[in-house]
Amino acid sequence: MKYLKKADLQIYKLIKAEEKRQQETLMMIPSENMSSLAVQEAVGSVLANKYAEGYPYKRYYQGQKNVDAIESLVIERTKKAFGVPYANVQPLSGSPANLAVYLGLLKPGDKLMGLALAHGGHLTHGAAVSASAKYYQSVSYVLGKDGVMDYDLIEKLATKEKPKLIISGITAYPLQLNWKRFREIADKAGAWLMADIAHLAGLVVAGVYPSPAPWVDVITTTTHKTLRGPRGALIMVTLRGLKRDPELGKKINKAVFPGLQGGPHENAIAGIGVALEEAMTIRFKKYAAQIIKNSEVLAEELKKYGFKLVAGGSNTHLILVDLRNKNIPGKIVAEALEEAGIVLNYNAVPWDTNPPFNPSGIRMGTPGITSRGMKEKETRKIAVWMNEVVEELILVRKKMAINLEQEKEKETRKKVIAKVKVIKKISQKVKKLCQKFPVKKEY
């Protein structure tokens, strides 16, 4: 980055600081990952200079020969990787991808149904604050009291509400989804069925998570999570979807452009293409399988230390911990673990009585640490360290007699965390582990 250093030293230093942070800490937020330098080079290439409004070979500007070839190649790779007949690679991120599907399939005021935000769904699955609930009628399904997807309950709601679109997808649910059951529910309700696999795409491509393609009409995904690509998104139409409506692909295209977006980010699209090429290898399949192995081991180890896991465990890439049995909210736990070099996020849990900005849970995942080459042995160490930090944090918090109202203040939380002596020791252990498993440049 010699040119950046010369042109803007301030930005250069901040990027280098972030690079150091990622190298020295454990990336355990399940929606994050570490893309290869090949992906990063594509995103940082001269493609960022090109404006390409429209679609391959149907642009509104000249000079499109190379970007047409690149976007067409990425479309073909998407179709091959996911086993679908149609793909749009232009969505800028997951939220606009989902909104494009709604724009293509629904009219304002039509009803859609998705998993409630507090139960592991996404904002765009119909949360009240999202455009998905402001322009469409939103009905939310919830998990059962055991924290597990209750398909009979979902079916009952769908047959009553008759939504035009049902969204099957998660951001904080740790078990595999039953695509076939969702199909049965959608058919009974007469609804379109969309799968949002933003968290699951890499696992699906690798064949370690069931593909929704045989069961749903439309698939959306981001590309930077388990797929280990750049920031971006994809919309795919399945054979089933095209059979129901042969014009569905064209409707999606029109919804993305000109419906929601202008010129696509061809540099990001190229990066997605590189990530897809990497994902269709034996190495990636082994990597994806290890993600799940690490997550299952981490879940079982945490349970040994008395952590209560939503849905009882994990058979995917993520784990959701309900901390209410330990009488401590998620935010201060997440902040304390970050000080120790273990970076995850505080998160709402089903039936949470605490506010979203200070919820009762923490969410974590294993894609990032698995990208560094860590396996079960290292995952068990991480569970030990997490428990040590949380146990001392609970004791310190109790000794200081801090209540939930006081804990809303950031300075109060800082004072509590500063007294947790084990954090410094764990932080050093984390750094040593990270040195042993450095961030990889290629996969």
Do 233 and 227 form a contact (C-beta atoms < 8 A)?
A: no
Q: Is 173 a catalytic residue?
A: no
* CB count in 10 Å sphere of residue 426: 23
Q: Which of 79, 181, 231, 415 does the annotation list as catalytic?
A: 231
Q: Is 41 a catalytic residue?
A: no
Instruction: Measure the CA–CA gap between 167 and 200, rounded to whole angstroms.
Output: 15
Q: Which residues pair with 322 in a beta bridge?
A: 308, 361
112 CB-near residues (< 8 Å, 6+ apart): 102, 106, 126, 132, 136, 137, 138, 139, 163, 164, 165, 166, 167
Q: Which of 12, 24, 32, 51 does the annotation list as catalytic?
A: 51
Q: Which residues pair with 365 in a beta bridge?
A: 318
Q: Which of 196, 296, 301, 388 does the annotation list as catalytic?
A: 196
Q: Is 222 a catalytic residue?
A: yes
Checking DSSP bridges between strand 58-59 and strand 54-55, what pairing results, if any? Answer: antiparallel
The residue behind tokens 């991120």 is: 93
- Among 252, 247, 249, residue whose Cα is nearest residue 99: 252
Encoded tokens for 278: 């990497």
Instruction: Measure the CA–CA gap between 140 and 14, rounded to whole angstroms.
Output: 41
Q: Is 196 a catalytic residue?
A: yes
423 CB-near residues (< 8 Å, 6+ apart): 336, 339, 340, 389, 417
- Among 198, 209, 366, 373, residue whose Cα is nearest residue 283: 373
- Among 272, 361, 355, 273, residue whose Cα is nearest residue 324: 361
Q: For 29, how many CA atoms within 13 A lie in the half-sphere containing its CB?
A: 17
Angle (nearest 5°) at CA 145 between 140 and 151: 55
Q: Which of 25, 221, 222, 379 does the annotation list as catalytic?
A: 222
Q: Is 25 a catalytic residue?
A: no
Q: Which of 50, 183, 225, 331 does the annotation list as catalytic?
A: 225
Do 68 and 59 form a contact (C-beta atoms < 8 A)?
A: yes
Q: Which of 12, 24, 32, 53 does the annotation list as catalytic?
A: 53
Q: Is 51 a catalytic residue?
A: yes
Instruction: Measure the CA–CA gap between 264 and 365, rounded to whole angstroms.
Output: 30
Active-site residue numbers?
A: 51, 53, 196, 222, 225, 231
